Amino acid sequence: MKKTIRVPIREAEGVRLKIVEDGKLDPERKIQVIVDEESFLEIPVTDEIEGFDTYEQENAIFYNKWRSLEDLLKESILESELELLPSGWHILGDIIVVTVDPSIDHLKEKIARSLLRMYPSCNTVVRDFGISGQFRVPRREVLIGDNTETIHKENGCLFRLDVTKVMFSKGNLHEKALMSRVGTHETVVDMFAGIGYFTIPMAIHAKPEKIIAIEINPRSYRYLLENIALNHVEHIVEAFNGDCAQLTPRGVADRVIMGYVGTTHHYLQNGIRAIKNTGGMLHYHETTPEPLIFERPVSRIMKAALEEGRQVEIKECRKVKKYSPGVWHVVVDAWVH
């Protein structure tokens, strides 16, 4: 998605400077003047901008003359191969992560070289084969470059990671932005913290009293510790390496984040036990078949709460993204009494 925001011209320079400072200005596209009922600047961005609606830019103007992989490769590959070129990719720091159709495997290095021409600030291209296992380890092949560790900036936060060893999802920007605006002055338990996807934005922007972050994968935990230090939130975040079934505390949390998908429901009682007797908010993630999109996660929360002798009030159900054909990643916000 080529993201953009529209800012009234009288406010545009201040907003632009802030976007540049936060590292969210897209350097590949030009800022444009849009005249509607009033004049706006259409500013190309790489991430959500607080206080502004994000749009898909329809008529992007690129500084680079190469607008697409097709432009770069149309003279050197078959027309049937052009149709199979990747239509999107992720940029994490100075690394490009791309999925290549197996039927054009012979073009993978040519595709990688073309991507580096499009993004000269990047130095490595990595091919993605998906994520598997309890630790959600990515399967990836380095196509060009030898540096797979980078620092990625998102929403004013810094994340150090090795893209071949730990996952980083760029598909749930809205959810991460939501979590960065809640939890002020609270005690929060982040049960599946990873490298700090929710913990770091919340610590930086919402400034809770305390975040207890738990991560079972030793490699992800190491990066979690590095990112806590990198973002100077050691005074807020206390991290633990181990299984949430053993390490989740009881009766301490105003808010619990269960941001893992796959077997999250097995830990629902642990999440509910973590919430104070006076009540608190549970953010429960699940991957759900479309026919049961909210019915199944809600019923699982209700059942787990009943087994713990607690009552639940469902506050909001929302889709995060399509996880696979017919399956959605969803979040349920539930107030636990």
Map out the domains of the chain as residue ranges.
3-56, 69-147, 168-336
Q: What is the pLDDT of residues 210-267, one digit of tens each?
A: 999 999 999 999 999 999 999 999 999 999 999 999 999 999 999 999 998 888 999 9
Tokens of 269: 């009682």
pLDDT at residue 133, as a whole number: 65
> Is residue 2's pLDDT more than 60?
yes
pLDDT at residue 328, as a whole number: 93
Fold adopted by 168-336 = Rossmann fold (3.40.50)
pLDDT at residue 1, as a whole number: 61
pLDDT at residue 308, as a whole number: 97
> Is the Cβ–Cβ distance between 192 and 212 less than 8 Å?
no
Query: Residue 31 contacts by C-beta under 8 Å, 6 or more apart in sequence?
Result: 16, 41, 42, 43, 44
Summarize the confidence of residues 318-337 as an average pLDDT.
93
Q: How far is CA 121 from CA 62, 90, 124, 172, 288, in A?
A: 15, 14, 10, 24, 38
Q: What top-level class would CATH report for the domain 3-56?
A: alpha beta
Summarize the confidence of residues 147-151 as an average pLDDT.
94
> Is residue 174's pLDDT more than 90?
no
> Is residue 197's pLDDT more than 60?
yes
- Give the CATH architecture of domain 69-147: 2-Layer Sandwich (3.30)
> Is residue 17's pLDDT more than 90?
no
Tokens 């993004």 belong to 119
Q: Fold match between 69-147 and 168-336? A: no
> Is residue 63's pLDDT more than 90?
no
Percent of the chain with pLDDT over 90: 63
Query: pLDDT band for position 67 (50/70/90)?
Result: low
173 or 114: which leads in pLDDT: 114
pLDDT at residue 129, as a whole number: 87
Query: Residue 80 contacts by C-beta under 8 Å, 6 or more apart in sequence?
Result: none
pLDDT at residue 26, as a whole number: 86
> Is residue 169's pLDDT more than 90?
no
Query: pLDDT band for position 65 (50/70/90)?
Result: low
Query: Which of 169-183, 187-201, 282-296 comes out lowest in average pLDDT?
Result: 169-183
